[in-house]
């Protein structure tokens, strides 16, 4: 009879999945459990999967699960600047139009500013009215459902469990002053484990960093400075300011909200040209390399 003690951690399927359940649901997991699972995955990284082993996709999901347990709502939330919401005093026709443009199934409702989110409206309630099943309301406030507010420091596992228990699919993320920081849907949480879930209504993803002629780059303002540093120039990622994105860097240099056409000089010699945005935020930029580097090429 073979000696079970010679088996690797990855071969102990029952122990592995038992450990994962404890990690996700908090049933007395041991401090070293995450390290044991990571070690088991690394030992078999690149191995050809067999009937008793984990497939590459399963390994990726396991790694995502390990990271998932350490993440907070702040890490996964849709930022405030990307929230599509409807004003509380909007007409029903304006609500329908916004649903059609946004392509979302739920829209937050706010009063005056996004810091006062009064609820959310589900598209199926709108469909019921359009189909004649329900009467058209005098005000969209009749369609508002109670919102759920969560702090940005809340753990994502705790939020997922809470959303399942309350059958809530959208939560408003608030900061320490009760201002709106972003929102999270249950789909956002699931995608952290399984990867992006695209449907037929999703637009093709926009590349965050696109190389152009003469060493220039077309860039999405949401590009992380860490990625900009690795892809474009490490000097662009060097900052003492509490900023994480290229748009934040542009605002820091300008000391205001940059506007389309602004040419912002970075200390490295790079020039950040604002190519798209509005009064509230920058959405896209063009990165022009230092003149000395263009001549050198």
User: Minimum mean pLDDT among 123-132, 196-205, 231-240, 268-277: which range?
Assistant: 196-205
Taking alpha carbons only, the member of 175, 155, 161 closest to residue 76 is 155
Tell me which of 24-33, 51-60, 271-280 is least confident.
24-33
Contact, 110 vs 174, CB < 8 A?
no
**Tokens at residue 134, please?**
């329900």
Say what the pLDDT of residue 214 is.
84
Q: Are 228 and 250 in contact (CB under 8 A)?
A: no
Token pair of 109 as six digits: 């409702």
Q: What is the DSSP letter of 257?
A: -
| Residue 174 CB neighbours (<10 A) | 18
C-alpha–C-alpha distance, residues 117 and 115, integer Å: 6
Whole-prediction pTM: 0.57
Q: Average per-residue pLDDT in the chain?
A: 80
Beta strands in the chain (DSSP E): 78-79, 86-87, 106-111, 113-122, 149-151, 170-174, 180-185, 209-211, 217-220, 263-265, 271-277, 282-288
d(Cα 270, Cα 234) in Å, to the nearest integer?
11
Average pLDDT over residues 238-255: 88
At 91 the three-state DSSP class reads: coil
The pair of three-digit structure tokens given for residue 60, joined into one six-digit string: 């990726």
Tokens 């935020």 belong to 281
Q: Which residue has the tokens 């060493």?
A: 215
Domains and CATH numbers, the chain: 12-70 (no CATH), 75-194 (3.10.580.10), 209-296 (3.30.465.10)
Both tokens of residue 159?
């939020």
Give which of 210, 228, 216, 234 is closest to 289, Cα–Cα: 216
* 54-75: average pLDDT: 75
Residues in the chain: 297
DSSP states along 160-218: HHHHHHHT--EEEEE-TTS-EEEEEEHHHHHHHHH-----TTSPPPPPSEEE-GGG-EE
pLDDT tens figures, 113-159:
989 999 999 999 999 999 988 899 889 999 999 888 999 899 888 89
Q: Is there a contact between 222 and 247 (Cβ–Cβ < 8 Å)?
A: yes
Per-residue pLDDT at 198 exceeds 60: no
pLDDT score, position 71 = 83
Q: What is the pLDDT of residues 70-105, one digit of tens each?
A: 788 888 888 887 889 999 999 999 999 999 988 888
User: pLDDT tier at 190 (50, 70, 90 boundaries)?
Assistant: confident
């Amino acid at each position: 009879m073979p000696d079970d003690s010679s088996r690797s951690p990855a071969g102990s399927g029952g122990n592995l999945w038992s450990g994962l359940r404890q990690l996700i649901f908090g049933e007395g997991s041991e401090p070293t459990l995450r390290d044991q699972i990571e070690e088991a995955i690394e030992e078999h990284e690149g191995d050809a999967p067999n009937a008793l082993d984990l497939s590459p996709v399963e390994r990726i999901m396991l790694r995502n699960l390990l990271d998932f347990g350490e993440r907070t709502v702040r890490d996964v939330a849709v930022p405030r600047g990307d929230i599509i919401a409807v004003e509380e005093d909007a007409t029903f026709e304006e609500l329908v139009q916004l649903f059609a443009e946004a392509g979302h199934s739920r829209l937050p409702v706010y009063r005056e500013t996004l810091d006062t989110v009064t609820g959310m409206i589900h598209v199926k309630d709108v469909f019921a009215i359009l189909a004649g099943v329900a009467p058209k309301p005098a005000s969209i406030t009749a369609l508002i459902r109670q919102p759920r507010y969560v702090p940005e420091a809340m753990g994502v596992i705790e939020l997922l469990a809470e959303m399942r228990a309350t059958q809530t699919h959208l939560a408003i993320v608030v900061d320490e002053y009760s201002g709106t920081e972003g929102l999270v849907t249950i789909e956002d949480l699931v995608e952290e484990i399984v990867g992006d879930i695209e449907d037929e209504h999703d637009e093709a993803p926009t590349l965050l960093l696109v190389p152009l002629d003469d060493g220039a780059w077309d860039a999405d303002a949401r590009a992380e400075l860490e990625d900009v540093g690795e892809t474009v120039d490490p000097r662009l990622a060097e900052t003492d300011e509490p900023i994480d994105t290229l748009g934040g860097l542009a605002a820091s240099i300008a000391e205001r909200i940059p506007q389309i056409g602004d040419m912002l000089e970075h200390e490295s010699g790079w020039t950040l040209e604002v190519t798209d945005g509005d009064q509230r935020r920058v959405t896209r930029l063009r990165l022009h390399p230092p003149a000395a580097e263009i001549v050198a090429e």
